[in-house]
Structure 1
Amino acid sequence: MIRLHHVPQSRSMRTLWLLHELGVTFDLLEWPFDKTLRSPEFLALNPAGRVPALEMDGRCLWETGALTEILCERFPEAGLGRAGQNAERADWLIWVHFAETISQHAAALTQQHEALYEDSMRSPIVMKIEAKRIEKCYQALETRLAGRAYLLEGGFSAADISCGQAVYMARHFTRLEPFEAAHAWYQRITGRPGFIASLPAGPGLYTRDYYEAWDG
């Protein structure tokens, strides 16, 4: 039995997309983005009080990068990982985990725009800095994707899922369109049924498609 504990549009969407691409049977349990994640019930699943939490093989696992590695190793026939001696293994690991570099900036902006309810709590400086940092992440993707359809020469992989989901969050704050190769790649991977199946059916973290810079 595989059960994913998920908040729509959060990092757990990365694991949800991967599960759909792997083609495995799983249960999905959605949680609200509120103090419920600090409840004893949820902390028994993920002691950090965050999603995702993945029940599999009689235990509960967490951390998206680790879950990506575990799931790709568990289901190698899907071809979404790059095993130990594969020539692309190091690049696969780099891009799987680069997703968190992107996500930390998107998370900071999510907090500024959505979690802080009073204007006095928000920082225009933080917002501008984090948006620029996302641009630098986009540039790293742009450089990598020049002349490539996917992040690895061997084709679509969990590295594309990891970075693609991080960009999905980041695009709420910083536009990807000026980065032509990265934008074309994003359009390519988000047309996949696995991505579409991972989109929220109802409300998620974000109340807007795009958040303009806030000047205080």
Structure 2
Amino acid sequence: DPALAGPGGKIASTIYESFWGKVLLVVLFIAFLPLIILNTIKKKLAEKRARKDLAYMTRYSDVFDWLSLQQRFKDSFLRVHKGWANEDLSDASKWMTDWYLQNQQQVYLENWKSQGVKNICDVKKLKTITPILFQHKNHSDNHEGSKLVVSMTANMNDYLEHLKTGEVVEGSKKYKDVETIWMFTLEDGIWKVSAIEEVATLMSFVKAVKDMPPIESTVPTPMP
């Protein structure tokens, strides 16, 4: 179910909420079960590789410590959604790269406002944060430009509401689990949101992992 709730611009799909939609979902699940299992295995292997690479990089810097990263990503997720719901990203701006703030987020908010609608997205609980792909860079030293792609699943609702009538014009008020793909970039020693993609892009990142050389061959083990 392709869905990109709140930040990112695409409203979470409601196609499987009806009775026949649920029937269709069961049919599709059965039909594509082998592929689902294969992709799940690939995702687990990608997660294992990302965790291993991050653990290796902690020899250089604590900015790669996964426990600290999880808290940073959780805070980023909640703060960006809060700013999005308030239609004011000024407080969340320090959690995002300038490029992403200017060229992505504001475009959607201003466009919806001009159409007389507002995106309502309320996060009840952030359930999982899973590393998918780590790419080391070293722009201007200190590992600047390094990127980390993570999958985040939250229980939330997401819909467009008409400002005057209060009518739901797209999406649903129903709370459900929504998975999105977030990319973080290391800037000035801080991990910032640089992209938010729908879950349909997940496997493209998973497939990219197999083409990446071992982290040890690109970042030599530091001297003791």
- Note whether the superposition's TM-score is higher than 0.5: no
Q: Give TM-score, length-normalised by structure 1.
A: 0.30
Greater relative contact order, per chain length (Cα 8 Å cut-off, separation 6+) = 1
TM-score between both structures, scaled by the size of structure 2: 0.29
> Whose strand fraction is larger, Structure 1's or Structure 2's?
2
